[in-house]
Structure 1
Amino acid sequence: MRLDDARVARLATVDENGQPHVVPVTFAARDDTIVIAVDHKPKSTRDLKRLRNIRANPQVSLLVDEYSEDWSRLWWIRVDGTARITESTEALAWLVGKYPQYQATPPAGPFILITVTRRSAWSSA
């Protein structure tokens, strides 16, 4: 499995007090850049904890995994990197191309761009 093909990941951030925060996200990856959008799905606020955490500490991890009762099919990929928040829609096409749901209602942002600094992976295969 490749990172590009995965449909959902978990984004891990850390706040200014060192408290971890993990949320599921949709994403698109190209080379050493990953884009995540704050999209139109209902949220209690646009001032999301993940965004506040990135402003306080831009070091993040993204985890993609596959679980199966057949443990010979297990795998995971983790990328670590430096995140920045942008209003630029430069990578919006990556998300729209990957998720049909975004074709009718593209995310307005903001966007999280992660520059990958480290990759690690494991597979039982």
Structure 2
Amino acid sequence: MATLSRQAMKMFLGEQKLCRLATVDRFGQPHVVPVWHILLDGDLYIETSPNSKKGLNLKANPKMALVVDTGDSFDAYKGVMIQGRVEFVKDKKMLARFREAMAQRYFGTSEHPGYKYLVSGGDPLLMKVIPKKVVTWDYSQKK
């Protein structure tokens, strides 16, 4: 099995629109949910509500794992798994950059009603993913 180069990994993360984020609750129970992600300046960011299950889990324990993958047959499987932690971002300018990128990526415009609804929900929890371990795979690259 081939792996992705750093550049190919970043391109792949930029192409895929959904990742699965794993956190652990206070009882040690894993919690896995799909989330959107944005690459800014080479770093991966995610956002959620501070009172969501994933937000509460990450505030109590910032360790997480996520996976972004694709493929519907063995020779097409490709993906990235990241284990690490999140760093909470308080910078309003970074939040504005993230949200503009999110609007363009997922809605095409910040004027879209779905985008406006999403960002109307109070204080967001913006998080930068700090990788500790990264694993990639690309079964389409036969060696």
Same fold (TM over 0.5): yes
1:30-49 equivalent positions in 2, closer than 5 A: 30=40, 33-38=43-48, 47-49=51-53
Count of aligned positions: 118
- Counting only pairs closer than 5 Å after superposition, residues 73-112 of structure 1 correspond to structure 2 as 73-86=76-89, 88-89=91-92, 90=94, 91-100=98-107, 103-104=110-111, 105=115, 107-108=118-119, 109-112=124-127
User: What's 2:26 paired with?
Assistant: 16
Change in Cα spacing, 1:24 to 1:101, as seen in structure 2 (3 Å) is farther
Specify the SS of the correspondent of 2:82: strand
Identify the residue that residue 119 of structure 1 maps to in structure 2. Answer: 134
TM-score by length of 1: 0.77
Q: Is the 8 A contact 2:48 2:55 kept in 1?
A: no
Instruction: Please give the alpha-carbon distance, in whole angstroms, between the structure 1 residues aligned to 2:41 and 2:82.
Output: 12
Partner of 1:61: 65
Secondary structure of the 1:103 match is: coil
CA distance in 2, matches of 1:33, 1:123: 21
Q: Which runs of 5+ in 1 are unaligned?
A: 40-45
Q: State how far apart, in whole Å, the 1-side matches of 2:109 and 2:25 are.
A: 29
Q: What is the TM-score normalised by the length of structure 2? A: 0.69
Deviation at 1:32, TM superposition (A): 5.3
Cα RMSD over matched residues? 2.4
1:9–1:66 distance in 2 versus 1, CA, 3 Å:
same
Larger helix share, 1 or 2:
2
Identity of aligned residues (%): 25
What amino acid is aligned across from residue 124 of structure 1 in structure 2? Y
Gaps of 5+ in 2: 1-10
Task: Report if the CA contact (8 A) 1:51-1:85 is conserved.
Answer: no
Q: Which amino acid aligns with 2:48?
A: V
Return the index of the structure with the highest Cα Rg.
2
